[in-house]
Chain A
Amino acid sequence: MNRRKFIEQSAASAALVTIGGLGLQSFTSVRSKHITILHTNDVHSHIDPFGPDDGRNANQGGVARRAALIKSIREENPNTLLLDAGDIFQGTPYFNYYGGELEFKLMSMLEYDAATIGNHDFDNGIDGLFAQWPHAKFEFISANYDFKNTVLDTLVKPYKIFNVGGIRIGVFGMGIQLEGLVDKRLYKETVYLDPIEITQDMSRILKEEKNCDIVICLSHLGYYYKNYSQKISDLNLAKATKDIDLIIGGHTHTFLPKPTVEKNFEGNNVLVNQVGCYGLKLGRVDFYFDEDQKKSGSGTSIIV
């Protein structure tokens, strides 16, 4: 063994140790991954907190407080997505005076990643929504509204895939039937497509073709209609489809104390959540991943 070889050898072993060390380190930090999904729905132009004299929601809500909460969660886990399930507009004079400009600007400041479109977002007409578009620095997604013959053509995407911390998150949007709910003069040539059919397409594309690790449906269909149990709703959509991990809902202003765990078409768990309205709550769903299949055991544990 000459001197040169020794150096090589020791370099090799040193390198090996380093790789091993790195590997161990990276396997604890990279092999397990953590994604946080934050969500709101039906904020309805509620920018200021409710006042101290409010009969029901005194001192609750408020965008500045939501901003502080979101910031602290993002500091804790930078791998965070922030989503809204529609009905951003209508409910306070902020909307009557500014037509949604302030709502979109604030959501952009809070760094929302995506929103879907609620029925009240058409309250100033599809043109009124289009007029506020430049103020939104986030994506609008809707898979079952066909905007082809409207001003929103090409602006609204059916889905968006986010690559966050090594995890692929596919989010698609679902809107409620507009006929009978919104004046035709407001939504114009927007075409509503069947939620179940479109969801089946979306879950296939996102799960099978695009290999997403998480599939999220951002829905304004409504949680569930007790008196119209056959009407399409988040719970019915969850049961009739597959390959969706989380449905984030809106429209029915349902305050769920905790998310509902529903069984999908294949008997697998789907989480369905909704946080009421007026920005009184923020939904938070944390997904944990591991590259070691053994750690997932027989499946995913859900803690709600």
Chain B
Amino acid sequence: MRHKLILLLLACLVFLTCKKHPNYMTKIEAVNIDITDSLGSTASIDEFVKPYRDHINKDLDSVLAYSVDTYSKSDGELNTAIGNFMADLVYVQANPVFKSRTGKEIDFVLLNHGGIRSIISKGNVTTRTAFKVMPFENSIVVLDLQGQKVKELIEYLVRNKRAHPISKLNIELDTDLNLKTASLNERPLDFNKNYLVCTNDYLANGGDRMNFFKEPDSLYILDYKIRNALIDYLKNTDTIRPVRDNRFIQTN
């Protein structure tokens, strides 16, 4: 009997001491492992992704329009064919939406040169092209901008001498690259009145130091992504043939 009791006590003791032992951290090892093609691949994951990948590729490769040439944002000093194309299509797509909601019309469009992320190549233009040209989720906004801020906007463009895409707006520089005229529909801008300027939310929030967009009198959010405007425009267009023109030029 005595042995039994000892046995029981011993078992309890072992059990209790084991259970009550705290854990002391003795060592930490850390390493950051590269995910490379030498690791092998889990086939079931690949198989699971495949239908999604196939659907996206099929959609991205669907032809929306035909481009008669290759267009790059580096083809031009003050305005480029691809920039004009982008600004014009934003006007074409956004103005009816804006008008239907507010009864007003957009005066002009200003985007940023850096926002064109890829060339458009001669040949078929696909949804994939649209994703490459505009990979960001930026949306179209319209700002009711005071004349003074519009003046700052023009000064910014004159100072930068960069082909920031514009539509409906015309800027002429003289031989010394100073501002000669800034006009809408051949009428000089009146810096005592407000204008409705269409741009993207990135710039409206001060992107590219376009600080004149800050604190507009009103901000209209169209909930329309630039990329979707591009895709919608291409769907409605058979062939694109944008050109460099006189909207932002230097003259004698």
Chain A residues proximal to chain B, CB less than 8 Å: 8-9, 12, 15-16, 19, 23, 26, 30-33, 47-49, 59-69, 71, 90, 93-94, 96-98, 102, 105-106, 109-110, 123, 166-167, 183, 185, 213-214, 245, 255-259, 271, 273, 275, 279-293, 295-297, 300-304
Chain B residues within an 8 Å CB radius of A282: 32-33, 35
Which of B33, B44, B131, B201 has the most chain A CB within a 10 Å cutoff? B33
Given contacts A19-B14, A285-B30, A296-B25, 7 further A-B contacts (CB under 8 A): A12-B3, A69-B39, A105-B48, A281-B35, A282-B32, A295-B24, A302-B30
Chain B residues within an 8 Å CB radius of A109: 44-45, 48
With A12-B7, A63-B45, A64-B46: A275-B32 Cβ-Cβ less than 8 Å: yes
Chain B residues proximal to chain A, CB less than 8 Å: 3-4, 6-7, 10-11, 14, 18, 21-37, 39-46, 48-49, 52-53, 55-56, 59-60, 131, 137, 201, 221
CA distance A293 to B26 in the complex (A): 8
CA distance A164 to B85 in the complex (A): 59
**Closest 4 pairs (CB-CB, A-B):** A291-B21, A67-B42, A296-B24, A64-B45
Instruction: Tell whether, in the assembled complex, residue B49 and residue A271 are in contact, meaning their CB atoms are under 8 Å apart.
Output: no
Instruction: Tell whether, in the assembled complex, residue A258 and residue B25 are in contact, meaning their CB atoms are under 8 Å apart.
Output: no
- Please pick, from B3, B21, B32, B137, the residue contacting A256 in the complex, using a CB distance under 8 A: B32
Instruction: Tell whether, in the assembled complex, residue B35 and residue A94 are in contact, meaning their CB atoms are under 8 Å apart.
Output: no
B42, closest chain A residue (CB):
A67
Instruction: Tell whether, in the assembled complex, residue A301 and residue B26 are in contact, meaning their CB atoms are under 8 Å apart.
Output: yes
Which of A66, A93, A109, A287 has the most chain B CB within a 10 Å cutoff? A93
Closest CB in chain A relative to B128 CB, distance in Å: 8
Chain B residues within an 8 Å CB radius of A281: 32-35
- Please pick, from A8, A19, A273, A297, the residue contacting B10 in the complex, using a CB distance under 8 A: A19
CA distance A281 to B33 in the complex (A): 5
CA distance A143 to B55 in the complex (A): 38
CA distance A121 to B90 in the complex (A): 28
CA distance A287 to B26 in the complex (A): 8
B45, closest chain A residue (CB):
A64
CA distance A98 to B53 in the complex (A): 11
Instruction: Tell whether, in the assembled complex, residue A26 and residue B35 are in contact, meaning their CB atoms are under 8 Å apart.
Output: no
Instruction: Tell whether, in the assembled complex, residue A61 and residue B28 are in contact, meaning their CB atoms are under 8 Å apart.
Output: no
Can you list 13 A-B pairs, Cβ within 8 angstroms, ordered by A? A8-B4, A12-B7, A19-B14, A62-B35, A69-B35, A93-B60, A93-B131, A102-B49, A166-B23, A214-B25, A288-B29, A293-B22, A296-B25
Instruction: Tell whether, in the assembled complex, residue B23 and residue A290 are in contact, meaning their CB atoms are under 8 Å apart.
Output: yes
Closest CB in chain A relative to B220 CB, distance in Å: 13
Chain A residues within an 8 Å CB radius of B31: 258, 284, 304
Closest CB in chain B relative to A186 CB, distance in Å: 11
CA distance A8 to B46 in the complex (A): 62
Which of B18, B27, B35, B131 has the most chain A CB within a 10 Å cutoff? B35
CA distance A300 to B30 in the complex (A): 13
B227, closest chain A residue (CB):
A96
CA distance A280 to B29 in the complex (A): 20
Chain A residues within an 8 Å CB radius of B4: 8, 12
